[in-house]
Amino acid sequence: MKILVIGSGGREHALAWKLAQSPRTEKLFCAPGNPGTMDIAENIPIKDSDIIGLADFAERERMDMTVVGPELPLTLGIVDEFERRGLRIFGPDQKTAELEGSKVFAKQFMVRHSIPTAQAEVADSAEKAKDLLSSDRYSFPLVIKADGLAVGKGAIICKTREAAEEAVRAVMVEKIFDDSGDRILVEEFLRGKEASFIVLSDGENVVPLVTTMDHKHAYDGDKGPNTGGMGAISPSPFVKSDLFLKIMESIVFTTVDYLREEGRKYKGVLYVGLMLTDEGPKVLEYNCRFGDPETQPQMLRMESDLVDILLSVIEGKASATQIKWSPNPSACVVLASGGYPLAYEKGKKIEGLKEAQEIPGITIFHAGTRYEGGEYYTNGGRVMGVCASEETLAKSLEKAYEAIARISFEGMHFRKDIGAAKEEAK
C-alpha cells in the first residue's frame, strides 16, 4: 500500500515509524514530514493546512491510505475533501472535529449529556465576560478558554480577578488568537492528576489504546508554564483497571454514542484530556487526533500492525480489532529549545545524535529539527523525543536519560523527572 502521513512533529515521526514496519506498506510519504521521517519515508513539501494540495497529491499518487496527525487539517475539513474524491483517510470529518475545534461546542455537548466536566459559562463579548467575572459565582483560580484552536495555548489559568480580566482583554480585545477568541469559556479550575485517555473509534465501536501520562509543565515538579508536553510514559500510573472502566463507561462510550445520535459519527482517534479529581474523572478537553508526545511511548509498545488497525477504523470494522501491546512500560523525554514554550531561537547545531542512537533500545523521534550538509539543527520548540521501552519504567527512563547525556545543543532543556510521579501512585 501507498500511505501518506500528514504533519511534521514527533507524533507523526512515531506514526510513520510504526507504519513503516508493516509488511503492507510499500511506500510511505510524509507531508511535510521532518528529518526523522526522511529516513523512512519520502517527505513531500506540502503544508498540513493546504488540504487541496494534499488531496491533489494523494489523488495523483493513488494513495491507498492517508493518516492525519495534527488537528488543523481536520477542522479545515480534509477528511470531507478526501472522501469526496474517494480517497481513504483516517480521521473525523469537519463537523465531528468541532469537538476539538470549538470548546464551546464541546462544553455544551458534555452538559447536554451529563458527561463529567468542569462547570463553565460562555461569553460572546468582552462585556459579557466582565459581567461574569464580577459576579461572585466564581472563585479563583479560574480558567479562561478561547473557543477555537490556539496551538495549545488557549487555556489561561488565572489566579486573581485582575489576571482573568487581563486574559479576557488579551483574547477578546487584542485577539491574540484571532477569531478563536470571539467566544470564551469562563471555567471552574479543577484539581487533581491529569491523564490522557486515547481511543480509536469507527463511530460505533471503541478500541482503547494503552494508557499514557503526559507532562505538560515546562520544568521539574510541574513548575513553569504549560507546554505541548515535555515527555510521556505508558502506562499511566494513575489509571488502573477500575478507573479505566469508569472512564470508558461514563465518558468514552457516552461521547461516541451521543455524537452519533447527533449526526457526528466519530471515525478516528479520540483523545480525552482528563483531570482525575476527588469527585472522579472530569473532561478538560477533547482532541480529535493522537497526542504528542503520548503517541511516541504508545507506538513503542504496539505489537500489532498499525496499518491493519487504522484500516479497520476507516472501514467501520473496529469491532473485530484487538491491539496487542508489549507489557514493557515505555518513556519519552522531550528535548526542547532554550526558552520554550515562550520565545526561543532556532538553528542551533545538535551534537551527539548518532552516539545516542547507538545505544541499543533507544528510539529518537524528531520534531523541530532541520537537516543540512550532514548536520542536524534545531528548528522548533520541541526538538526531539528520546524514547525507550524496557522491562520496567525505571529502566526505560534510565536508558532514555543515558542517551540524552550524549546529546547537546545550545540552550537545550528537558525535564529530569519524567515518570517520577509514579512513586506517588496508590
Residues that bind ligand GLY (CB under 6 A): 214, 228-229, 287, 291-292, 294
What residue is closest to ligand AMP based on CB? 155
Nearer to ligand AMP, 117 or 379 (CB): 117
Q: β-strand 65-68 against 2-7: which pairing, if any? A: parallel
Return d(Cα 164, Cα 349) in angstroms, integer: 40
If you ran DSSP here, which 8-state letter would residue 374 be given?
Answer: T
SS (H, E, C) 44-61: CCCCCCCHHHHHHHHHHC
Q: How far is the CB of 407 from ligand GLY (least distance, A)?
A: 21
Give every CB contact of residue 253 below 8 A, 6+ residues apart in sequence.
206
Q: How far is the CB of 193 from ligand AMP (least distance, A)?
A: 10
Q: How far is the CB of 149 from ligand AMP (least distance, A)?
A: 10
Binding mask 252-271 for ligand AMP (x = CB under 6 A): --------------------
Return d(Cα 272, Cα 288) in angstroms, integer: 9
Nearer to ligand GLY, 8 or 25 (CB): 8
Question: How many other CB atoms sit within 10 Å of the CB of residue 420?
Answer: 16
Does 226 engage in binding with ligand AMP (CB under 6 A)?
yes
| Cell of residue 13, nine digits | 515521526
Task: Choose, by CB under 6 A, the member of 284, 300, 331, 334 that binds ligand AMP.
Answer: 284
Give which of 174, 185, 188 is closest to 124, Cα–Cα. Answer: 185
Partner that binds at residue 284, options ligand AMP, ligand GLY, none, CB closer than 5 to 8 Å by kind: ligand AMP
Q: How far is the CB of 219 from ligand AMP (least distance, A)?
A: 14
Does 55 engage in binding with ligand AMP (CB under 6 A)?
no
Q: In the beta sheet, which residues pair with residue 212?
A: 196
Give which of 16, 18, 48 is closest to 29, Cα–Cα. Answer: 16
Give which of 350, 351, 363 is closest to 389, Cα–Cα. Answer: 363
Nearer to ligand AMP, 39 or 279 (CB): 279
Give which of 331, 338, 236 is closest to 293, Cα–Cα. Answer: 331
Does 110 engage in binding with ligand AMP (CB under 6 A)?
no
Return d(Cα 225, Cα 341) in angstroms, integer: 7
Partner that binds at residue 228, options ligand GLY, ligand AMP, none, CB closer than 5 to 8 Å by kind: ligand GLY
Nearer to ligand AMP, 192 or 361 (CB): 192
Does 285 engage in binding with ligand AMP (CB under 6 A)?
yes
Nearer to ligand GLY, 28 or 274 (CB): 274
Return d(Cα 361, Cα 277) in angstroms, integer: 36
Q: How far is the CB of 293 from ligand GLY (least distance, A)?
A: 6
Partner that binds at residue 67, options ligand GLY, ligand AMP, none, CB closer than 5 to 8 Å by kind: none
State phi, psi for 122 to the nearest 5 degrees: -100, 140
Q: How far is the CB of 24 from ligand GLY (least distance, A)?
A: 27
| Cell of residue 34, nine digits | 521532518
Partner that binds at residue 291, options ligand GLY, ligand AMP, none, CB closer than 5 to 8 Å by kind: ligand GLY
Q: How far is the CB of 188 from ligand AMP (least distance, A)?
A: 6
Return d(Cα 396, Cα 363) in angstroms, integer: 11
| Cell of residue 250, nine digits | 461514563
CB-CB contact of 286 with 271 (8 Å): yes
Return d(Cα 3, Cα 1) in angstroms, integer: 6
Binding mask 135-174 for ligand AMP (x = CB under 6 A): --------x-x--------xx-x-----------------
Partner that binds at residue 118, options ligand GLY, ligand AMP, none, CB closer than 5 to 8 Å by kind: ligand AMP
Give the binding site for ligand AMP (CB under 6 A): 118, 143, 145, 154-155, 157, 187-190, 194, 216, 226, 273, 284-285
